[in-house]
Structure 1
């Protein structure tokens, strides 16, 4: 199989409101991929469609080669988790994990135990989901998602409610899965942190379409230039009292004026620039 996810002209509306208006992208198996965009552009909707939990209004979506909606074979190989992917409020945390271990055939008990220990979440094992804090719910979703062993793992803003320490715990364990052969798609606003581990970044624009699909190595083709005026050919500008900062193609470096400072661009710089113009 060449692609684990393939979308062509994918659409989804809620009543008269169009959220996705023609999404086109493909993902080969493996790697960690970011799904980024401004609030309300449809990131959660797209993940729910990929997970088979929401039916498209139009276009095509294939996961493991088949339409995922209500498709048991595809859904058994896919996990969707996040702080807003709710579990029954009356279930205890240990019941949720027990159910997940039965739901996912590749459940990794060792990883689940490591995450519980690193999050110090084990002490809440007897608490009901409805009584967990938002941060504890986020950690529960992370444990289920990462320990699921699912070939396709979808993480919807997984770190919401986490403090700095637990956010770093999450990213450390996520990075450890980078060479596992699993395909991980994460909707995120943590651009600077996420960019350090992403293989690609999918940017969903305000028009409900994919604005850019960036590979990590694409950042090598750009520079961040700082000066006092506008720069021809810049992808995006940021203006402040300290001057102008612009993302420019590296090929334009030789034409920069005296006094313009440059540094290599990181993936986070490229993502932020495309988000500004998308």
Structure 2
């Protein structure tokens, strides 16, 4: 005997309810920024998972850490990257032994249009072959930076978005192409912020001080590790107010603007390093670590 439509109604509602629940729980991939330039940091968020996924940004592997409702990974785009689409692939394991869900996204990378400038510095900073004592100091600096940047990967130490280390105009953006004394060429992997000698410099976010050092090129330097493979650097300080190993909070005093190291005048050089790449700090400031808007995404059948 066939059941009446009214008797089948609760079952139909249950099925519809389960379908709606399953749709809501399907993992979602989102990317920040939606349109990027070479040298930008990129935040990848996957929501709706209980186990850590794996994935890649272009050819770079992603390292995910847990966040509310899912997982995030922070990586970067090399400055030499050719503009065009960059694929993001994430393999998301599901509970119950089911096959993993493969999520894909596309990040549009546009030309950077780096500015170029000519600068004049002391001749000792552009010598093809530095004096032996200078070379020894530079090698020691290189080793100290490498040790500071070798922190174990860990979840973020911060719970807020990033803030400017000081409020003032930018005198040189990330990525500009420089010629020193008419011959030595390099690219600027930081953001120069105007400031008179002695004005305060603050931590861009919560983290641990992993190096304070008077280095030959960067002068008095502070490096802060924020977890998630992310560091911020503060160069050319006239004085430092923190010590190695100290935990600092967002907005805490780190030191004071100066003109130590290879500089043309007092300013703060603020650098951001993600996953072993120096990236654009201005883009980092725009990333929302609490919520990521959905962008192009596709689930493989």
Q: Shorter chain as normaliser: what TM range?
A: under 0.3
**More helix by percentage:** 1
**More strand by percentage:** 2
Rg comparison, structure with higher value: 2
TM-score normalised by length of structure 1:
0.24
TM-score normalised by length of structure 2:
0.23
